[in-house]
Amino acid sequence: MNKKTKYALALLMALSILAGCSSKEEATPSTSPAVSTAATATPNTTTSTPTTTATASPQASSKPVQSPSASPKASSTPSKSDGLQVIAKPESVTVLVNKQFSLPSSYEPTDLVYPDIPFTFAEKNEKRKMRTVAAEAIEKLVAGAKKDGINLAGVSAYRSYATQKALFQRYVLKDGEEKAKTYSAVPGTSEHETGLAIDVSGSDGKCAAEDCFGGTKEANWLEKHAQEYGFIIRYPKGKEKITGYQYEPWHIRYVGADTAKDMVAKKVTMEEYYNAVPVSK
Ligand SMILES: [Zn+2]
C-alpha cells in the first residue's frame, strides 16, 4: 500500500465512523475541517486512483462483473441537483444504496417486523426492526451462530428517513451542511433505511459497531457464514474506495442467499456486482 492510499484510507476511516452505521448517534464529530474537506473528495471522484501497482485487483482487469440485465434495481431516475440519484425500486431486496444512490424521501418499508433475536439494548423501538425477509434470515443466522458457540446480538437495524433526517439536521444546525455531510449520512443514503441491514456484535455488546469488533470470534464467524443466511459484509476490508466506507465487519446486509454466495465467491462489493462504479480497467 503506498503512502497516498494509506492517507486516503485514514481519511475514509475518519469520515465513515459516523457516516456509515452511526449507532453512536450521540457521538460528537471529531474530524477536523481539513480532514473533512479532503475526505469528501476521496471515494469515487478521484480519477487518478493508485491502480497502477501490480496488486490491482483481479476484478478490476476483467470485464464487467455482471451482465446489465441483472443490474441495479438501482435503476434510478436522473440525478438531482446535488448529484444524488434517486432509486426507482427501493423495495427491491437487492437495492443498492450508497453515497450516489439515495432512497426516495417518501420510502418506508411496508413489512417491517421485530426479529426475535437479542439486542444490546432493552427498548423496543424502530432500531430493532427489519423487513420480514431479513428478519427471518437474521433469526436463522443468530441461531446458527449459537450452534457454533457464538452469541450474537443486534446493535442497530432499521432507521427511518425521518430519524436520519432529524439526526442530520441536528448536525447541520451545529456545523453547517457541508461539514455535516462529511460525518453523517445524508437522509436517504443510509443503508439502514432499507430495513435490510443490521449492525451486530457479540452479545456482551463489547466493541458494538466499533473497529475493535474486527478480528473477534464473532466477526470471524460472520465473515465465514453470513452469506449462508443471505447476508454480506457490506463494507469489506480493502474496498473502501469503492463502497465509500471504511471496513465495517459488524454491518451486514441482506441480499438473499444466492446473491450473497455469488458475491462472496467473486469477492466483490454490491457496487462492483451491479457494475455501478467506474471500476478501473
Ligand atoms: Zn451499519
pLDDT of the residue at 77: 53
pLDDT in tens, 203-262: 999 999 899 999 999 999 999 999 999 999 999 999 999 998 889 999 999 999 999 999
Comparing 32-46, 182-196, 241-255, the range with the smallest average pLDDT is 32-46
pLDDT of the residue at 230: 98
Reported confidence tier of residue 281, pLDDT bands at 50, 70, 90: very low
pLDDT of the residue at 68: 36
Of 218, 240, 248, 272, which is the active-site residue? 248
- CA distance linking residue 29 with residue 233, whole number of Å: 25
Q: At 190, which helix (H) or strand (E)?
A: none
In this structure, which CATH number among 3.30.1380.10, 3.40.50.300, 3.90.870.10, 3.40.50.1820 belongs to the domain 3-64+109-269? 3.30.1380.10
Catalytic: 248?
Answer: yes
pLDDT in tens, 68-78: 333 444 445 55
- In this predicted model, which residue has the larger pLDDT, 134 or 49? 134
Distance 185 CA to ligand 1 centre (A): 11
Per the structure block, which three cell numbers stand in for 150? 457464538
Distance 53 CA to ligand 1 centre (A): 31
**Backbone φ, ψ for residue 52 (5° rounding):** -85, -10
- Distances from the Cα of 116 to the Cαs of 155, 201, 256, in angstroms? 13, 16, 19
What DSSP assignment string belongs to 253-275?
EE--HHHHHHHHHHT--HHHHTT
Per the structure block, which three cell numbers stand in for 6? 494509506
**Across 177-191, 216-230, 267-281, which has the greatest mean pLDDT?**
216-230
Per the structure block, which three cell numbers stand in for 199? 449492525
Reported confidence tier of residue 65, pLDDT bands at 50, 70, 90: very low
Distance 19 CA to ligand 1 centre (A): 9
DSSP H stretches of helix in 115-228: 132-147, 161-175, 177-183, 217-225
Q: pLDDT above 90 covers what percent of the chain?
A: 61
Distance 193 CA to ligand 1 centre (A): 10
- In this predicted model, which residue has the larger pLDDT, 252 or 21? 252
**Backbone φ, ψ for residue 115 (5° rounding):** -65, 145
pLDDT of the residue at 182: 73
Q: pLDDT above 70 covers what percent of the chain?
A: 69
Distance 52 CA to ligand 1 centre (A): 32
User: Is residue 165 predicted with pLDDT exceeding 50?
Assistant: yes
Distance 266 CA to ligand 1 centre (A): 23
58: nearest Cα among 251, 272, 224, 205: 272
